[in-house]
Structure 1
Amino acid sequence: MPELRELFYGHKSLFWGHSGVGKSSLINALFPELKLSTGEVSSYNQKGKHTTVIVSMNQINRDTFLIDTPGIREIAPFGIQKDDLAHYFPDLADYLQSCKYKPCTHNHEPGCEVVAAVEREDIDPERYDSYLRLLENIEDDMFF
């Protein structure tokens, strides 16, 4: 841990990510003197409980700052249409042109080669689940 701790000196470092993954716990492990609040992951939905509710910039020394942020539960890509999302997943790219129907969201369409590749385990199911979660969060019509 001392080697990792040394990497932060002289920098402003931001800890950002999903709720409950251990951002504040990692900061506490590196710099226990900060005594940041931490919490448990919900047993109900296996998501973080938002123990960190505001952004805090913690000064370690004159040149070193650690920024702890509240966790996020979900993200939705901005400016990406549902039909285009799969192109941002390189591991799906080899299968996109082989789908029976165009456009294909690679979610429920019959004859989808991406779904077939997941079933054959040619595509990592966790990566495919990430794709589906993002697909679910993309607004059909984004007007701002």
Structure 2
Amino acid sequence: MKDFITSESTLDPDAIRSRGFAARIFPEFPSEEEIALISDLIGATEIEFWAHEFGLPSQHFAAQPVGLMFEKLFENAPYGLLIHFLGRNLFIWAPEDHEFLVVFGNSDMVHHVEQSGIFSYKFADYLNSGDLSTKTVKHLEQMMETYTIC
């Protein structure tokens, strides 16, 4: 799973494409509730994750039931997180800056998550909220272009 993360500790869109996966970008850091709802939606009872900090080796947290991982996930929230729903080709990338997250994996699952309403705040609405600087909006528009993969 670490092959999705570049040496700069960012998500590699080419690695997503090479697997034939889809990806969608959503605003902000994933909440416990959102992670649990995705888990229920796709029938995954366990998650594992990797915490990535630029310049340091990633730290792997072995699979455990979803609810038991919340404390570890949020202890590691200052880092880039790659969350894998065990037994499913579905992942969440939450970078260190918490301005967005990327759901990627099996195209049908990504579309199912997208249509589910779990993430009710659309990324375009987030960009147009007026709460972000022009520089941030430009950066996030680039991220949206990079991580919207069909």
TM-score, structure 2 normalization: 0.23
- Of structures 1 and 2, the larger Rg is shown by 1
- The structure in which a higher percent of residues are strand is 2
TM-score if structure 1 supplies the norm length?
Answer: 0.23
Higher relative contact order (CA 8 A, sep 6+): 2
